[in-house]
Amino acid sequence: MIGRHRRQTSPTCSSFQLPEQKTCLDLGQLATSKIAPRGNDHHPWALGVWAQAERDFRDGRYKPRLPPRFPVILTLDGPVSSPAALQQLAELDSLPETIDTSQVRWDGTEVKNVTICHVSLDEKDKIEEKAETFNGGDEHLLVMFRGKQRFALIVTALKKGVQQGRRGMEVKRIGGATSKVI
């Protein structure tokens, strides 16, 4: 007997008995049960689920998920007051689409009408790298976006070293060199 566990030997498998359960546990069965649960046809790794997904893809019924988009509220008194300003800040190739929607509370009641644009995760990261953002703190800024309540972002100020010029954002680098993003 080693510690609290009593080791048993078997010619076919290594097993041991747990004092709390009073049953013999086969380590091979434990590994198999963790990988492939029995009797669950809806498990995401079940063979039938994969076969159905393959048939759907082959028949053209597979609809890939849209990449995540993040709403950004345009504010008249902030640094991102227009789609063009957002395009410059997020380094977008084209002018982003504007959507008129509602800012809502948790319970779904409308607070006010707002104009938003939406950006990808990489573009959102660029915005947060160059600007101070606000998502409502404890209040959380929720807007209706693609039929659902979504958290929104407001750009409150450009970070130190980032200036908004007439032709684009100027990012001042260490050493005085300036690069323009148009």
- At residue 177, the pLDDT reads 40
> At 28, phi and psi to the nearest 5?
-65, -40
Give the domain ranges of the chain.
Answer: 6-35, 70-181
Q: Is the pTM of this model over 0.75?
A: no
| Cα gap 34→16, rounded to integer Å | 18
Q: What does the pLDDT look like over 31-76, one tens digit per residue? A: 554 555 555 555 556 778 888 888 888 898 877 778 899 999 999 9
Identify any residues that bridge with 71 across adjacent strands, giving them in sequence order: 118
Q: Which residues of 163-177 are buried (b: 16+ CB within 10 A; e: fewer)?
A: eeeeebbebeeeeee
DSSP notation for 116-135:
EEEE-HHHHHHHHHHEEEE-
Question: Above pLDDT 70, what percent of the chain?
Answer: 61
Q: In the Cβ-directed half-sphere of 125, how many Cα atoms lie within 13 Å? A: 4
104 SS3 class? strand
